[in-house]
Amino acid sequence: MISKKEKLAIDAIATILDRSLSAAPKRKLSSSQVLVIKDIGDLKIFFLNKSSYTIGRNPDNDIQFFSKGVSRHHAILYRQQSSFWIVDGSKTGVPSTNGLTINYQACRTERLKNGDIVNFCSDAYAIFFESDSSPELSSDGEFRRAESFLASQVENRERDFLASSNFLQIIPDLILRIDQNSVILNVKESKERVFSGYGQEIVGKSISACFPMTVAQKLLSSIGAARSSNKKQVFDCEIAENNSRSFCEIQIIPDQDGVCFAIFKNMHSRKSIENKLLHDALHDDLTGLPNRNFFIKRVELSIQRRSNDKEFGFAVLFVDLDRFKVINDSLGHLVGDEFIVHVANRLKDCLRPGDVIARFGGDEFAILINRIDHIDEATLITRRLQVALTKPLTLGGHELIPSASIGVVYSSERYASVNDMLRDADLAMYQAKSAGRSRFEVFDQEMHQKAMNFLVLDSELRQALRRQEFKLFYQPIVSLKNQKLVGFEALIRWFNPNRGMVAPADFIPLAEETELIVALGEWALEEGCRQLSTWHKLAEFDSKLTLNINLSSKQFSSASLTQYIAELLDKYSLCSKSLKLEITESIIMENSQFSIDIFHRLRELGVQICIDDFGTGYSSLSYLHRFPIDALKIDRSFVLAMDESSQNTGFAIAQSVVGLAHNLGVKVVAEGIENARHLVWLRSFQCDYGQGYFFAKPLNAEQATALIKGELGWSYTQKAYCQLQK
Ligand code: C2E
Ligand code: MG
Ligand code: MG
């Protein structure tokens, strides 16, 4: 049998010869049939022009071998019509000692076909090539040049291939050489039926043009990962073959200058399929890491071990990537997948051999750190993971900084089940995320208590919706030019029999984590629209009064939002311009792809959109300009930060936001105007509208109605302002 290394060299030669024989019109060859022989490390090429050849170790043979395993007169090659046949033994009919194998099958006589491998013994073999075209010999000199060119090509390529040790680890079936633009440079065809569609005709084509989309996507993302990590990537996929599908393993091996090899292995044997299925049941498709099932089994073992040996300590880490959704939505799933593979590799590289890292799906990973004596060891490893993660990563031309929020839980007698440990690690991770991401938290009992309180609150909130315990309050929004009321912002309040009045900050974040916010948000929209239509019907007041309603992220990304609002406007006969929706910057960023679409649909409806709490998120005005917005609300923290000193940063921020927004044709509302000084300053910056305790706190519906009717003056503020003007 030939070795893997040799097999690979043969494959390399096949590719080169194939190309040289069928392409390159300048290099005309004297024969369209060639025998390449490998003999104790020596490589020779014979262009088969004669009608017969003898092959053997004796010097009187046409083709002489030196290997001891080759018989003195081992075989005969003869031409019949245009084909070559090989026959075992001498001209006198004496069979060879070791016999012949063709493509690893013993044989006595065989018509040779392109690519056939003929073995004479373990270290001597030949490979037969023929091309369809029959180039002609034009001159002897040209023939020699062609021959030496071919020989040098073969030898160079063989050296290249032998040097690529990664590549040599595999016995390949179908091999593609792919350039930096994902175009196929060479094909080493495979005899497997499943790869029959991938012959030389795919050379020069792009990956996406040759493979079905699902396979092409996986290929491209692994090629990207292989290139940037310079590491072999392995994944599985199914390739369709007529009406059936074949299970293939694909390896991507990076070469130089962005070139990669893709090696397709058909997992045809039953055993490999069984192994594959078993492997798949316990591993993640994209990263090849163990999956949740595998992880659970390993943690179970650790728990068991600890119950027998109290000295045995271990930790479970729950890792959740920060802002992965933004990457996925803005750069596409292909880059998203590549990102996950990179992160998985980085995490894996930080761990010791006995530790286990698993992908739980999406952007979630879990890590089991075994054999530690103290929680500090786990936190040390966690820090190391976070440092390794946050190195910049360039994907699809974008520089990304991965980061993760990690929850850590340490083994203790309390944990008899994996689920409990995972639950607490998840909770700790969640704490890390809400404390600002890219950090870790170690689980403690207090966290557990908080989580329990959370649960109670959740069930109370659900009850509250049924019992109609919510109310909208309305905070006036005033034109800073003439102090006139232009509208209100609707702010939700919860009146609970036991808790009293609960502010939104104490329940909105929880409702946002559950689907509850959608129902709550719909209620607020309906109640707000109903109230606004009542006000519009008040004869004393003109119907320009507007109402701002806050939208949460889940509501904003709900597909039915526009439809729901259109129905409400219709139901309450409201002019769409009188409704303004407030969303925060982070909502746009989290849904950037999707947002533009929704913005346009809401715009078509005529509804206005304001960016709430502007300046506290991480977007920029230039970015926001891509979205059709009507107003910005300067976050109250900037307004409150304005004080007497003119060097104050709040002052500078408020002023520049107004200037920039006006340049972009967007109105500005200042939140949190608490005193007359704020008002004077904001007016001097030409800020359009204001809202804050200086004018009025959020009022209940009756108070707001009285204010509209002029029954409840805000004379106290007016007076203060007039005094200031004097
Ligand atoms: P927001 O939309 O930025 O609302 C402004 C918040 O600032 C309100 O707090 C308001 O009472 C407060 N505020 C107004 N003027 C002043 C002032 O001069 N000084 C100070 N210190 N605060 C002032 P509130 O009502 O507690 O609401 C907090 C947040 O809860 C809101 O911030 C909004 O994000 C959210 N929220 C309120 N109602 C809803 C709702 O119906 N749906 C959703 N999704 N979120 C809501
Ligand atoms: Mg708001
Ligand atoms: Mg706000």
To which residue do tokens 């299925």 refer?
277
Say whether 527 sits in a helix, a strand or coil.
helix
Nearest CA to ligand 1 atom 14: 692
Residue 440, amino acid = F
From 118, 48, 55, select the one nearest 80 (Cα to Cα): 48
The closest-lying atom of ligand 1 relative to the alpha carbon of residue 503 is 26
Whether 477 is in the pocket of ligand 1, judged by its Cβ within 6 Å, is no
- Give pLDDT tens digits for 609-661: 999 988 776 656 666 777 888 999 999 988 988 876 656 677 888 888 899 88
Pair of tokens at residue 463: 């009850």
Which ligand does the CA of 614 lie closest to? 3
Q: How far apart are CA 145 and CA 150, in angstroms?
A: 8
DSSP state of 200: G
Q: How far apart are CA 717 and CA 294, in angstroms?
A: 66
Contact between 260 and 166 under an 8 Å Cβ cutoff? The reply is no
Instruction: Name residues whose C-beta falls within 8 Å of residue 6's C-beta, 6 or more positions apart in sequence.
Output: 38, 125
Pair of tokens at residue 384: 């190391």
Q: Which residues pair with 369 in a beta bridge?
A: 315
Whether 492 is in the pocket of ligand 1, judged by its Cβ within 6 Å, is yes
Residue 118, amino acid = V
Which ligand does the CA of 505 lie closest to? 1
Contact between 202 and 210 under an 8 Å Cβ cutoff? The reply is yes
Q: How far apart are CA 36 and CA 463, in angstroms?
A: 83
What is the model's pLDDT at position 508?
92
Q: Exposed (0-12), middle (13-18) or buried (19+): which is 70, by Cβ within 10 Å? A: buried
* 415 CA to centre of ligand 1 in angstroms: 42
Contact between 671 and 640 under an 8 Å Cβ cutoff? The reply is no
Element (H, E) at 44: strand 42-47
Q: Within 10 A of 502 (CB to CB), how many other CB atoms are there?
A: 19
> Which mean pLDDT values do the consecutive 10-residue runs of the chain (726 residues) have?
52 53 41 78 77 91 90 90 87 85 82 86 82 45 53 51 36 78 86 79 91 90 91 85 75 87 75 69 90 94 92 96 88 91 95 93 95 94 94 89 95 92 94 88 88 84 93 96 93 93 91 87 97 86 86 86 95 95 83 76 93 76 76 91 70 86 92 92 94 94 90 57 47
Whether 584 is in the pocket of ligand 1, judged by its Cβ within 6 Å, is no
Element (H, E) at 171: none
The closest-lying atom of ligand 1 relative to the alpha carbon of residue 517 is 44
Query: Which of 472, 478, 491, 673 for mutating ligand 1's site (highest number of atoms within 8 Å of CB)?
Result: 491
DSSP string of 544-597, one letter each residue = T-EEEEE--HHHHT-TTHHHHHHHHHHHTT--GGGEEEEEEHHHHHHTHHHHHH
* 463 CA to centre of ligand 1 in angstroms: 23
User: How many CA atoms does the CB half-sphere of 593 hold within 13 Å?
Assistant: 9
* 637 CA to centre of ligand 3 in angstroms: 9
Sign of the CA dihedral running 588, 589, 590, 591? positive
Whether 475 is in the pocket of ligand 1, judged by its Cβ within 6 Å, is yes
Q: How far apart are CA 77 and CA 110, in angstroms?
A: 10
* 550 CA to centre of ligand 2 in angstroms: 5
Q: How far apart are CA 580 and CA 545, in angstroms?
A: 11
* 609 CA to centre of ligand 3 in angstroms: 13
Nearest CA to ligand 1 atom 41: 492
SS (H, E, C) 95-137: CCCCCEEECCEEECEEECCCCCEEEEECCEEEEEEECCCCCCC
DSSP state of 250: E
* 610 CA to centre of ligand 2 in angstroms: 9
What domains can you pick out in the chain, each with its CATH number? 33-130 (2.60.200.20), 172-272 (3.30.450.20), 283-443 (3.30.70.270), 457-725 (3.20.20.450)
CA angle 110, 114, 117 (to 5 degrees): 65
Whether 559 is in the pocket of ligand 1, judged by its Cβ within 6 Å, is no
Query: Which of 550, 558, 639 for mutating ligand 1's site (highest number of atoms within 8 Å of CB)?
Result: 550
What is the model's pLDDT at position 268?
66
Contact between 71 and 57 under an 8 Å Cβ cutoff? The reply is yes
* 581 CA to centre of ligand 2 in angstroms: 9
What is the model's pLDDT at position 712?
73
Q: How far apart are CA 148 and CA 129, in angstroms?
A: 17
Contact between 250 and 243 under an 8 Å Cβ cutoff? The reply is no
What is the model's pLDDT at position 157?
47
Q: Within 10 A of 272 (CB to CB), how many other CB atoms are there?
A: 15
Q: How far apart are CA 249 and CA 441, in angstroms?
A: 39
| Residue 521, phi then psi, degrees to nearest 5 | -65, -40
